[in-house]
Amino acid sequence: MKVMRDGRPVTVEVTADGAGLVSHAGTALVAQVADKVGLTNALSLRLAGIKQRRRGHDPGRVIRELAVMLVDGGECVSDLGAVREQDALFGTVASDSTAFRMLEKIASTPGLLDAVRVAHARARARFWELHGAPERLTLDVDATLITAHSEKEKAAGNYKGGYGFYPLQVYLDETREALGGLLRPGNAGSNTAEDHKAVIDRALAQIPAESIESLEILVRAETAGATHGLVDYCHEGNMRFSVGYELSESVRAAILKIPEDAWVPALDQDGCERENGEVAEITDMVDLSAWPEGSRLIVRRERPHPGAQLSFTDHDG
């Protein structure tokens, strides 16, 4: 088979005899896709100013190699060695120190992170042009606790008693693409509406303008997204929203009053009924006047798993 290395096709022999093995071979396809959709070239053009020597490493290729490393399961810059060892597939790969300096330069120089985002958006538009855009846009917003085992910049204690970071991300459900992220310390709030709005703005900037205008957009978040700031933002932006809702006493009382025949089977994403799960609507049983007009409140029940604490109706445990 042939793979592209330094812009030239190189023949790689595939055998099953155990001799001359090349690990991580599939990652070469990731690099080729980045080149094909113009991502590598777009990064090179927008980051050209940080290349200090004519023979130095091309910034676009360094970022591409770091992306390949992450796709391959890497977690830190030093894991770039797994890519560097595959000279037959990737050619000359930047050293760990060179890659680190380039990341530091991009992060500290005003405008360069925005330049990287613009390059990503152009490449995504090209990919959707070649592959086809999704029929709808479902933006999943969620935060993740990341543990830091030493004193790192902006690391802080979190609500679970740990220490580290609490970044907020947006993923596109239809294509599983990461559209935006917001780096935050571990003590950042879970339901900070301004953070949610900021990261969704970054995600929307990654989507081609014609798709924003023509496709239905749904923003999904857990209970942390049930803030008036976020919901009003979605409503004003003509975006649908689906967020978790606090289990207050009024909601608990409404659920207990639902007639048995009002429960209907829950559906999976493919439209098939779930074996364990039913839903019902209690919009008319709870005061939602403070939320945007047309808001609905849907509840779900499931059979408890073995060992579950049945505290919903049994207040004494």
**Does residue 175 lie in a domain region?**
yes
Q: What is the pLDDT of residue 127?
A: 92
Tell me the pLDDT tens digit for each residue of 76-103: 999 999 888 888 778 889 999 999 999 9
Residue 119, in any domain of the structure: no
Report d(CA 31, CA 45) in Å as an integer: 17
**The pLDDT of residue 271:** 85
Q: For residue 304, what pLDDT band results from cuts at 50, 70 and 90?
A: confident
> Same domain for 216 and 284?
no
Q: Are residues 150 and 218 in the same domain?
A: yes
State the total domains in the chain.
3
Q: How far apart are the first and last CA of the chain?
A: 63
Structural domain contains residue 30: yes
Distance CA 113, CA 161 (A): 32
Q: Say yes or no: 6 and 109 in one domain.
A: yes
- pLDDT tens-digit map of 144-153: 999 998 888 8
Q: Flag whether 301 is in a domain.
A: yes
- CATH number at 234 reads 3.90.350.10
Domain final residue, candidates 211, 226, 244: 244
For residue 171, list its beta bridge partners: 140, 178
- Structural domain containing residue 229: 136-244
Do the beta carbons of residue 93 and residue 31 sit within 8 Å?
no
